[in-house]
């Protein structure tokens, strides 16, 4: 007896535009004795491969009409897909109407996207809008408790992997493919929407999945001559307590600032300017954390975004009341602090909420989108591998962990210097790592901060002895970096010669 949730595949409905490369699928279905239903052209192809097939028309008693526009849209087909095996009424209905159960739906849609991109005339593009195939996919995906859906020829390897082992599916497999199916139909429908919308909104052709109605206008884009919009739900993240409207640049800086804050449980302040951290500190006293963050680069903090993971105190508000800033964001404001800061009506005051970041990051590129998993690999101290003779002492370990949290959110090439819970220097966005180091050291000197005893973090390989020598000469005592370069030993030997500790994390954190 099969465990609950397993469903034997007895009958498959196959409707394919592209049929190449599916010969093994047919053979596997045949080996397991799975009956095949299919539409005209696909049925002819299956029969030509030497396998038995029942045409849809023989089941529905209705021929394909309107030049193939209507083939599978019939209760005898959709009843077999949508019927629930655990519902007596469904079972009786299908038995009375002699409708067979369908356990597998394999569909490859008309190539609308390819036809649209080819520049084909409008009537030809319209004929490639699939109707029956989309309906089959959605029906099978909806009834994933009973039916396995394969919504594209690109998903066929998933089916073949199952059939090589067994003639039945699990609930997890069916639910997984249901998700994939609704992703396929949503992208397909969105491509149709963008094509139909191209004349009314020609500038939106690259905004897949975003309707003009959902775009919130911003003051402007990165520059005043550029229009800007935000598509999303800001009210799930911020409550604006005062100030002017948020701008495109404000939102980028706030997003980056919150990413830094999410790394810390202890009280922290971070100051963001042009999407770079110019001040960051942690301390059990949030007022001290603020002062140390501002001290790191007060000049660059002018016009910046200030964020904290603790409520804004009157002490901080007193420091900020005559300081020019774009926005302050915190979980809350002490009443006196809020009253003081809101006296200048243009200052943006935000109360940020707890929220879950999406697993995927999306950015536009080349008239399309780049999609990747969010870079979230937390590091515990015991996971760091000391590769030098000298080991970090407890205070250095604490600073190393902080520096690593900061550098992985800093634009490459990046170097971060930390001393006693304060980021004292940062080099960000440089084309060479030694230049990033020079910049970080110069920032520390300019702020009058002591580098002696500081630690250094590099978000990527730190393989050459010259960088180690320059850092040691300035007073750096410990370095944390990914490791993994063929020249690692050069920097390790330099650390041993100069009496520095070095820790490898095993993870690179490029950010562009």
Cβ-count burial 353-367 (b if 16+ within 10 Å, e if not): eeeeeeeeeeeeeee
Strands (DSSP E) found in 74-162: 104-108, 148-150
CA distance 118 to 266: 56
| Residues ≥6 apart with Cβ < 8 Å to 351 | 238, 239, 241, 329, 330, 331, 332, 333
pLDDT the model gives residue 396:
94
Residue of 111, 144, 114 lying closest to 130 (CA atoms): 111
Instruction: Output the average pLDDT for the chain.
Output: 87
Q: Residue 417 to residues 31, 84, 436, 456, 506: CA-CA distances in angstroms?
A: 65, 62, 11, 5, 20
Collapse the DSSP code of 369 into the 3-class scheme (helix H, G, I; strand E, B; otherwise coil) and give the result. strand
Give the rounded percent of residues in the chain with a pLDDT score beyond 70.
95
Note the pLDDT of residue 360.
85
Candidate from 96-105, 148-157, 198-207 with smallest mean pLDDT: 198-207
What whole-number distance in Å separates Cα of residue 387 and Cα of residue 265? Answer: 28
Sign of CA dihedral 29, 34, 39, 45: positive
- Collapsing DSSP to helix, strand or coil, 119 comes out as coil
The DSSP string of 433-451 is HHHHHHHHHHHHHHTT---
- What's the rounded mean pLDDT across residues 279-295? 94
DSSP β-bridge partners for residue 307: 270, 329
pLDDT at 362 over 60: yes
Whether the predicted pLDDT of 1 surpasses 60: no
**451 Cβ contact list (under 8 Å, min separation 6):** 417, 419, 424, 425, 441, 444, 445, 474, 475, 476
Per-residue model confidence as pLDDT tens digits over 428-470? 888 888 898 988 999 999 889 999 999 999 988 787 788 899 9
Per-residue pLDDT at 310 exceeds 90 = yes
Q: What's the pTM value of the predicted model, to 2 decimals?
A: 0.66
How many CB atoms neighbour CB 421 within 10 A?
Answer: 19
Give the pLDDT mean for 410-439.
90
Q: How many residues make up the chain in this entry?
A: 512
Q: Which are the contacts of 425, defined by CB distance < 8 A and separation ≥ 6? A: 296, 415, 416, 417, 439, 440, 441, 442, 443, 444, 447, 449, 451
Tell me the pLDDT band of 328, cut-offs 50, 70 and 90. Answer: very high
- The answer to whether 243 touches 346, Cβ cutoff 8 Å, is yes
Distances (CA, A) of 509 to 27, 102, 361, 412, 512: 46, 48, 15, 8, 10
Predicted pLDDT at 149:
94
What's the rounded Cα separation, in Å, for the pair 322 and 452? 33
Tell me how far apart the alpha carbons of residues 332 and 338 are, in angstroms, rounded to a whole number.
9
Q: What is the pLDDT at residue 199?
A: 63
Q: How many CB atoms lie within 10 A of CB 223?
A: 9
Distance, in Å, from the CA atom of 329 to the CA atom of 16, rounded to the nearest integer, reads 53
Q: Provide the CA 67 distance to its chain's centre, in angstroms.
A: 42
Catalytic site residues? 142, 274
Under DSSP, the state recorded for 331 is: S
DSSP state of 240: E
Tell me the C-alpha distance between 455 and 479, whole Å.
6
Q: What span, in angstroms and rounded, lies between the C-alpha atoms of 391 and 387?
A: 8
- Burial class of residue 191, CB neighbours in 10 A (0-12, 13-18, 19+): middle
Which phi-psi region, left, alpha or beta, contains residue 403 (left: φ > 0; alpha: ψ -120 to 50)? alpha
Q: Is the pLDDT of residue 101 over 90?
A: no
CA angle 128, 131, 132 (to 5 degrees): 120
Least confident of 160-164, 176-180, 184-188: 184-188
pLDDT at 214 over 70: no
User: CA nearest 426: which of 446, 397, 398?
Assistant: 446
């Amino acid at each position: 007896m099969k465990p609950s949730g397993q469903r034997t595949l007895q009958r498959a409905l196959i409707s394919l535009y592209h049929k190449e490369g599916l010969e093994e699928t047919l053979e596997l279905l045949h080996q397991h004795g799975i009956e095949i239903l299919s539409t005209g052209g696909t049925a002819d192809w299956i029969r030509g491969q030497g396998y038995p097939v029942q045409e849809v028309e023989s089941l529905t008693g209705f021929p394909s009409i309107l030049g193939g526009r209507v083939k599978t849209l019939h209760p005898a087909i959709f009843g077999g897909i949508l019927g629930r095996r655990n519902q007596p009424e469904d079972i009786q209905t299908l038995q009375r109407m002699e409708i067979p159960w369908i356990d597998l739906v394999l569909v490859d849609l008309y190539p609308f996207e390819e036809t649209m991109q080819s520049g084909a005339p409008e009537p030809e593009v319209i004929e490639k809008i699939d109707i029956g195939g989309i309906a089959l996919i959605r029906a099978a995906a909806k009834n994933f408790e009973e039916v396995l859906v394969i919504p594209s020829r690109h998903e066929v390897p998933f089916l073949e992997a199952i059939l090589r082992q067994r003639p039945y599916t699990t609930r997890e497999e069916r639910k997984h493919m249901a998700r994939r199916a609704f992703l396929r139909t949503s992208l397909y429908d969105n491509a149709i929407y963008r094509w139909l919308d191209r004349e009314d909104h020609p500038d939106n052709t690259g905004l897949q999945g975003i309707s003009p109605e959902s775009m919130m206008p911003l003051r402007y884009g990165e520059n005043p001559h550029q229009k800007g919009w935000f598509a999303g739900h800001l009210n799930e993240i911020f409550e604006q307590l005062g100030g002017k409207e948020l701008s495109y640049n404000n939102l980028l800086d706030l997003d980056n600032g919150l990413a830094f804050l999410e790394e810390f449980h202890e009280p922290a302040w971070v100051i963001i300017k042009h999407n770079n951290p110019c001040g960051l500190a942690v301390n059990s006293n949030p007022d001290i954390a603020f002062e140390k963050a501002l001290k790191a680069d007060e000049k660059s903090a002018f016009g910046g975004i200030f964020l904290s993971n603790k409520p804004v105190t009157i002490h901080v508000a007193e420091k900020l009341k005559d300081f020019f800033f774009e926005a302050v964001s915190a979980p809350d404001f002490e009443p006196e602090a809020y009253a003081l800061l809101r006296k200048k009506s243009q200052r943006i005051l935000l109360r940020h909420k707890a929220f879950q970041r999406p697993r995927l990051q999306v950015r536009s590129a080349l008239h399309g989108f780049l999609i990747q998993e969010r870079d979230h690999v937390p590091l515990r101290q015991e996971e760091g591998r000391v590769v030098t003779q000298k080991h970090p002492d407890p205070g250095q370990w604490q600073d190393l962990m902080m520096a690593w949290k900061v550098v992985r959110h800093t634009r490459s090439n990046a170097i971060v210097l930390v001393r006693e819970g304060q980021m004292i220097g940062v080099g960000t966005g440089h084309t060479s790592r030694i230049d990033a180091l020079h910049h970080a050291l110069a920032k520390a000197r300019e702020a009058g901060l002591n580098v002696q005893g500081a630690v250094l973090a590099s978000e990527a390989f730190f393989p050459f002895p010259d960088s180690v020598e320059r850092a040691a000469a300035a007073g750096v005592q410990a370095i944390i970096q990914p490791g993994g370069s063929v020249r690692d030993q050069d920097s390790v030997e330099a650390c041993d010669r100069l009496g520095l500790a070095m820790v490898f994390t095993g993870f690179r954190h490029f950010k562009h």
